């Protein structure tokens, strides 16, 4: 391909991450502290916007991630920490 498109989503008990990038440049990330999406590119670049609701989708993804994290801990509770 000509371009590398990357999406990162992750969570912990106290934090979360949702980010989109293209060719190594961060295009958008969710600021869960200030409850908004952020476009970190400088103003002189070609402006674009993701569809409305992308931040709300990131919030929903975090809820799913935290639920999956909880379920994984329950399922793996008897696995020793070290082999």
Please report, for the domain that includes residue 50, its CATH number: 3.10.320.10
Number of domains composing the chain: 1
What domain range includes position 63? 5-76
| Single pTM value for the model | 0.80
User: 83: pLDDT confidence band, cut at 50, 70 and 90?
Assistant: low
Position 81 in a domain:
no
* pLDDT (0 to 100) of residue 48: 80
Which residues are CB-neighbours of 28 under 8 A, at least 6 positions away?
Answer: 19, 20, 37, 38, 39, 40, 50, 54
Name the nearest CA neighbour of 62 among 5, 6, 19: 19
Position 83 in a domain:
no
Residue 73 CA neighbour count, 13 Å, CB half: 7
- Residue pLDDT, tens place only, 13-70: 899 999 999 999 999 999 999 999 999 988 887 778 889 999 999 999 999 999 999 9
């Amino acid at each position: 391909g000509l371009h590398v498109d990357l999406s990162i989503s992750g969570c912990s008990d106290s934090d979360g991450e949702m980010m989109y990038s293209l060719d190594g440049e961060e295009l958008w990330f969710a600021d869960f502290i200030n409850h908004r999406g952020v476009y970190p590119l400088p103003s002189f670049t070609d402006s674009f916007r993701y569809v409305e609701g992308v931040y709300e989708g990131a919030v929903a993804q975090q809820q799913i991630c935290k639920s999956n994290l909880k379920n994984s801990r329950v399922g793996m509770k008897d696995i020793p920490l070290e082999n």
